[in-house]
Amino acid sequence: MSLFRINGGKQLHGTVAISGSKNAVLPILAATLLTDEPCILRNVPRIKDVERLLELLASLGVTHEWTSEHDLRVVARDAHLQTLDRKTFASLRGSLLLWGSLVTRFRDVTIPEAGGDIIGNRPIDAHLSALQQLGATIERQDGLYHFSAPNGFVGALVILPEFSVTATEIALMAAVRAKGQTVIKIAAAEPHVQDLALFLQEMGAKIAGAGTHTLTIQGVSQLHGADHTVIPDQIEVGTFAVAAAVTGGDVLITNIVADHVDLVRSKLHQIGVKTELTDHSLHVTASFPLRSFRLQTFPYPGFPTDLQAPFGVLATQCSGTSLIHDPMYEGRLGYVSELIKMGANAIICDPHRVLVTGPTPLHGQEVKSLDIRAGATLLIAGLIADGETIIHDAEVLDRGYEKFEERLRNIGAEITRE
Ligand code: EPU
């Protein structure tokens, strides 16, 4: 494993461009299995999770070719199940995303359970029940799932138990080629779910209601290839905005979709961070003192859980006590213990809530990236800590951020990877 070495105390100044969204491109790659024709995907981030899903798809006979740095051509014409890489399947949480398209394509599929970050119990009941409601039978034995839908999926009313992103995406991919009409209620509306729906529409799917909590899908017998540009990653926008704010910097964040970051912007304003929207860019400037805040994560359009941790480090630099409440995951406050080691004044009330009192100076320490978002958060903490911060397991960040340290270096951070 490699590590990041950060020499803190530098303000960030300059321009940083946002990459394509991890959580949009992963289901879109899974959806390429729904057609024999080539799909062109643009603005694809060069991150580890994409690489691993492409490897997994390659083990299924799906070919791909990078036609430029961020453009990809994917062809699933010769897909088959014989050589599926079960080990990668089992180690990747994103492999769940293949359920809907694999069963649509092969109708009888045996696959291992999926892995992923240790951020708490992540139930998959919603995912299983969606496919059952669309007519699949599912058996689980010895860590394997056997899905069977001998005549394909059949359109139905699918009521999800909660606004689950992946369950919605699996249900969508199962419904687009099902016989008849499907209505998905309590659907997730995140920008990445909308982007998947748009890609499926570009492939010929008939979907109404994307971006709302009710999706109506008229099944079609075939889908065709499509040319799609992946949306920018709104989590990156918030992450770089926080990095600019805590260093008292001045950063122009380009390649954004303004609609996707409304709530994050209004939270930043409430805290005292100035943001100015120009054409597809966000200009972030900050001067202290910053105000403490209360934050609760919600499904979209609420505040994203994936930005809860960066706002935790922001809270250490605000005057007063901030309350952060993440009801969605019970393992996502692990970064707080690492921040406390660095000097943060924080009390973890329970697995979902933390009180952070600031402003407190942070001090360089050796800390560990527990998951993608915790890793990015500690890196931001290292930017404002005095002395040297070492972050172990740097690879965890490569799963979700393209050249993160290089992009921070370009705007003034002193950071190396060893
Ligand atoms: N949850 C609630 N209430 C809700 C909806 C969800 O408590 O209304 C809980 C669930 O029970 C679960 C957690 O929230 O424990 C996440 O739920 P979901 O099923 O939506 O998560 P997911 O589909 O497994 C995706 C992203 C995650 C992101 C979540 C939430 C992908 C590949 N993953 O996960 O991304 O945190 O949605 O937005 O899209 C990350 O990028 O670091 C990451 C973990």
Q: How far is the CA of 202 from the centre of ligand 1 (A)?
A: 26
Distance (Å, whole) CA 95 – CA 114:
6
Tell me the pLDDT band of 399, cut-offs 50, 70 and 90: very high
Out of 52, 162, 235, give the residue to mutate to test ligand 1, the one with the largest number of ligand atoms within 8 Å of its CB: 162
Torsion of CA 239, 245, 250, 256, to 10 degrees: 30
Tens digit of each residue's pLDDT (9 = 90 or more) over 5-56: 999 999 999 999 999 999 999 999 999 999 999 999 999 999 999 999 999 9
Atom of ligand 1 nearest to the CA of 304: 38
How confident is the model over 201-246, as pLDDT tens digits? 999 999 999 999 999 999 999 999 999 999 999 999 999 999 999 9
Q: Which amino acid is at 353?
A: R
Q: Is the pLDDT of residue 124 over 90?
A: no
Which of the four pLDDT bands, split at 50, 70 and 90, describes residue 92? confident
Number of neighbouring beta carbons within 10 Å of residue 150: 9
pLDDT at residue 117, as a whole number: 52
E runs forming strands in 31-76:
39-42, 63-68, 71-75
- Taking the mean position of all CA atoms in its chain, how far away is CA 215? 21
Q: pLDDT band at 114, cuts 50/70/90?
A: confident
Spatial separation of the C-alpha atoms in residues 78 and 182, rounded to whole Å: 28
pLDDT at site 122: 63
Task: Give the CATH number of domain 3-18+232-417; options: 3.40.190.10, 1.10.599.10, 3.65.10.10, 3.90.1150.10.
Answer: 3.65.10.10
Is the pLDDT at 364 greater than 90, yes or no? yes
Q: Is 328 in the pocket of ligand 1 (CB under 6 A)?
A: yes
Minimum CA distance residue for ligand 1 atom 43: 306
User: What residue type is 132 in one-letter code?
Assistant: Q
Q: Is 372 in the pocket of ligand 1 (CB under 6 A)?
A: yes
- CB of residue 399 inside a 6 A radius of ligand 1: no
299 lines ligand 1 (CB under 6 A): yes
Q: Quickly tell me which residue has 């359920």 as its tokens.
A: 99
**CATH 3.65.10.10 in the chain, residues?**
3-18+232-417, 22-229
Which tokens go with 194? 């909308």
Shortest CA distance to 178 belongs to which of 157, 161, 202, 208? 157
CB distance 25 to ligand 1 below 6 Å: no
> Could you give the CA distance from residue 399 to residue 396 in angstroms, rounded to a whole number?
6
- Give residue-wise pLDDT tens across range 66-79: 999 999 999 999 99
Tell me the per-residue pLDDT of 270-298, one tens digit each, with 9 for 90 and over. 999 999 998 899 999 988 999 999 999 99
CA–CA separation, 289 and 9 (whole Å) = 17
Name the amino acid, one letter, at 255.
Answer: N
- Catalytic residue ranges: 117
Residue in 25, 306, 308, 371 to alter for ligand 1 test, most ligand atoms within 8 A of Cβ: 306
Atom 20 in ligand 1: residue holding the nearest Cα: 164
State yes or no: pLDDT of 118 exceeds 60: no
Atom 2 in ligand 1: residue holding the nearest Cα: 328
User: In which band, very low, low, confident or very high, does the pLDDT at 104 lie, cut at 50, 70 and 90?
Assistant: very high
The correct answer on CATH 3.90.79.10 for the domain covering 22-229 is no
CA of 164 to the centre of ligand 1 (A): 6
Say how many Å lie between the CA of residue 313 and the centre of ligand 1.
Answer: 21
CA distance 357 to 347: 9
373 lines ligand 1 (CB under 6 A): yes
- Please determine, for residue 375, whether its predicted confidence score (pLDDT) is greater than 90: yes
Q: Is 130 in the pocket of ligand 1 (CB under 6 A)?
A: no
What does the pLDDT look like over 303-339, one tens digit per residue?
A: 999 999 999 999 999 999 999 999 998 889 999 999 9
> What pLDDT is stored for residue 121 in this prediction?
58
- Cβ of residue 249 lying under 6 Å from some atom of ligand 1: no
Mean pLDDT score of the chain: 95
Q: How much is the pLDDT for 142?
A: 85
- Burial grade of 101 (CB within 10 A; 0-12, 13-18, 19 or more): buried
